Amino acid sequence: MASAAATVDQSSVVTQGVNPWLIAASVMLATFMEVLDTSIAAVALPYIAGSLSASTDEATWVLTSYLVSNAIVLPASNWCSLRFGRKRFLISCVTIFTIASFFCGAAPSLALMLLARVIQGAGGGALQPLSQAILLESFPPAKRGAAMAVFALGVVVAPVIGPTLGGWLTDTYSWRYAFYINIPVGLLAVFMIGRFVKDPPYIAKAKVPPFDMIGFGTLCVWTGCLQIILDKGQEDDWFGAIWIRWAATFLVVSLIWFIIHSWRAREPLVCLQILKNRNFGVGCLLILLFGMAIYSTVTVLPLFYQELLGYTAFTAGLVVAPRGLGAIFGSFLVGQISSKIDNRVLLTLGFLVFGLTTLYFGNITLEISPTTLFWPIVITGIALAFVFVPISTMAYGTLRNDQIGNASGLFNLMRNVGGSIGISIAQTLLVRRAALHQNEITNYVPITGAQFQQAVQSLQRVLAGSFLGPANAATGANANLYQQLIRQAMYWSFVDVFRLLSLLCLACVVIVWFFQKVKGKGPPAGAH
């Protein structure tokens, strides 16, 4: 009873009399806005390229520049919050993000657009770990499941509705409004954070170490190289390109240097010693794999509708939007039961259901209707909530409050890195497996075979009589069959990706049980 009371006192000291749900609403506005921006711009890329007289390849730097600066700032957020005060730093980040959003929308050229995106990513990088740390400290351990359910609404729902909202804004108004929409949300977030969020005593009394230039420098190099390699690797044939081999060398050297320095240094920018905590180490591994699974699925499923079924970006976004409804319902449900049921059971259920629904996606055909996958997509949203909420609760459950800031930056970095790796692997597999399946299909259906020749002759008669005339019918028939070949090969590549994602989720079920059980009604270990 005494320890539980101490925990309640700790959270009340952090909130300083403010209702914790008002604090949750304040910080989640900023986080939702930042996570939304990672996916909302992806839909508008072709329009951005056309408007700014750039190629599609050049326009992809709009995404890459944001993600690189975002990843660099994530682990540095704890030091900055200690140095400048968490509330002041959070308000500064939201302000920078909001102003940069305006300049992104108003950019007259690609160069200015990229500069604004770098600044926007730097401003947004700290929002996720700061919001998560504030939420965890504002609620007692018995209610941290509910707090993480609120956080899940931003982190899980935002990437799902991003393509839909971005497509609607782009089609109805302009791609520039995909950035302008951040401005009113950012102003409201600044007001609410200034009104309701308070700095805990340990931040005000903290002895801030000198800035770790070696840790920050190596962090910049390896995260930047990793993101650029992942984004541009498939375009340039991976290690077939000399620049990628050099970038990979810099990546490996800087990453090893970063790990050794951050493990041995007395006061590093990112304290990797925290990975000795078993639950947090397992949580980082799982969130890395979870990031690969969720971001790959969010990317691949709309592509299936667009590439193979001919849907527009907005329509494809609408079809997959029910995942957001499932995530909202799942977050509410798991927030209610997470303190009553072993979180390892909830995690197992979440990964298992997500894996089975992804396996179901691997059995779809090219004749599906827009509503065929409605319930499976809703169920994946529920499963995502059953993964994200317990995994955060378990990972932070045995940490002290003063460790949460550093842990949150590292934890969110792992999720973002997992997402980048997952998207890159999925896109590479789609291209490589489509080429493989094309070869396999042509081997089983040779051009000289009777089946192929009958199909050509049948199509030739149809086209000669109604469309192309006798002179062009043979060319049209072969072109039509080749188009069907490409479509079938692409279809099987999507099937392969869905099935591999299913296996990944099922492997996570085993890793879940390496967690130590965390008692929901008591304080985290060492929190006194």
Asked if the model's pLDDT at residue 360 lies above 50, the reply is: yes
Question: If you count DSSP H runs as helices and E runs as strands, how many of each does the chain have, helices first?
Answer: 23, 0
Asked if the model's pLDDT at residue 374 lies above 70, the reply is: yes
Interior/surface letters 137-172, b for 16+ CB within 10 angstroms, e for the rest = bbbbbbbbbbbbbbbbbbbbbbbbbbbbbbbbbbbe
Segment 406-427 shows an average pLDDT of 82
Only one residue has tokens 């019918």, namely 473
Asked if the model's pLDDT at residue 2 lies above 70, the reply is: no
Confidence of residue 86 (pLDDT cuts 50, 70, 90): confident
Closest CA relative to residue 408, chosen from 65, 38, 127, 122: 127
Q: What are phi and psi of 13, to 5 degrees?
A: -65, -40
Q: How many residues does the chain have?
A: 528
- pLDDT tens digits for 159-176? 777 777 877 887 788 888
- pLDDT tens digits for 116-158? 988 998 888 888 888 877 887 777 777 777 777 777 777 777 7
The better pLDDT of the pair 108, 303 is held by: 108
Q: Mean pLDDT of all residues in the chain?
A: 80
Closest CA relative to residue 197, chosen from 405, 15, 403: 15
Return the ∠ at Cα 385 (arms to 366 and 405), rounded to 5°: 130
CA dist 344 and 513 (Å) reads: 7
Which pLDDT does position 524 carry in this prediction?
Answer: 38
Asked if the model's pLDDT at residue 528 lies above 50, the reply is: no
Asked if the model's pLDDT at residue 95 lies above 90, the reply is: yes
Cα R_g (the chain), whole angstroms: 25
The better pLDDT of the pair 176, 340 is held by: 176
Only one residue has tokens 């085993």, namely 510
- pLDDT tens digits for 296-314? 887 788 778 878 888 876 7
Total-model pTM: 0.77
Which pLDDT does position 471 carry in this prediction?
Answer: 62
Asked if the model's pLDDT at residue 257 lies above 80, the reply is: yes
CA dist 3 and 527 (Å) reads: 9
Token pair of 234, please?
A: 């498939």
Whether the CB-CB separation of 67 and 121 falls below 8 Å is answered with: yes
Token pair of 494, please?
A: 């999507």
Whether the CB-CB separation of 165 and 41 falls below 8 Å is answered with: no
For residue 65, count other CB atoms closer than 10 A to its CB. Answer: 23
Helix ranges, 397-514 (H)? 401-444, 450-466, 470-512
State CA 366 to chain mean position distance: 27
The better pLDDT of the pair 45, 214 is held by: 214
Which pLDDT does position 470 carry in this prediction?
Answer: 66
**Range with the lowest mean pLDDT among 13-17, 186-190, 351-355, 467-471?**
13-17
CA dist 505 and 493 (Å) reads: 19
- pLDDT tens digits for 451-477? 666 766 676 666 666 666 666 666 666
Output the DSSP codes for 341-406.
S-HHHHHHHHHHHHHHHHHHHTT--TT--TTTTHHHHHHHHHHHHHHHHHHHHHHHTTS-HHHHHH
* CA-to-CA separations, 346 to 44, 336, 349, in angstroms, rounded: 37, 12, 5
Segment 19-43 shows an average pLDDT of 79
For residue 306, count other CB atoms closer than 10 A to its CB. Answer: 16
Output the DSSP codes for 127-144.
HHHHHHHHHHHHS-GGGH
CA dist 215 and 41 (Å) reads: 31
- pLDDT tens digits for 473-495? 666 666 777 778 888 888 899 99
Token pair of 291, please?
A: 């990031």
Asked if the model's pLDDT at residue 7 lies above 80, the reply is: no
Beta strands, E only, 151-191: none
